Amino acid sequence: MRMRFGETVTVRRYSRDAKGNRTLVSEHTIPDCGIAAAGGSSGWGVASDENNVRGETVTDGLTLYGPYGADVTARDVVVLANGDDYEVDGSVARWHSPLSSWAPGVVVNLKRVNG
């Protein structure tokens, strides 16, 4: 499904060395993506306090809707058109009909941790 007013995102794929340092392996773009809040009523993503002691860590969540076959994995980083980067949060859902060739796209949960 093509999103007429969608945005192009960049997918960055990294590997980790024995010390846990990230090295960029590849980078590609995916056009025609929709970006939406991952729930909540603010309209700007979910903000949740993950540090119950002091409340210093905030996680922002978004949902990316992309074309079917988009090359995104659970370990990628997605960079939005505005430059904000988000980690893929969980598995990538690839939607298609079992009764026809209809394949509307992929749904990717994204998260950004600050703090």
Q: What is the pLDDT along the chain (115 residues), one digit of tens a residue?
A: 566 788 999 999 999 889 989 899 999 999 999 999 885 434 444 445 444 455 566 678 999 999 989 999 999 999 999 999 999 999 999 988 889 988 889 999 999 977 5
DSSP of the chain = ---TT-EEEEEEEEEE-TT--EEEEEEEEEEEEEEEE-SSSSSS-EEEE--TTT---EEEEEEEEE-TT----TT-EEE-TTS-EEEE-SPPEEE--SSSS---EEEEEEEEEE-
Query: How many Å apart are CA 53 and CA 55, to the nearest integer?
Result: 6
Q: Is residue 2 part of a domain?
A: no
Whether residue 1 lies inside any domain: the answer is no
In the chain, the number of structural domains is 1
Total-model pTM: 0.78
Residue 61, domain extent: 7-114
Question: Domain containing 98 — which CATH number?
Answer: 2.40.10
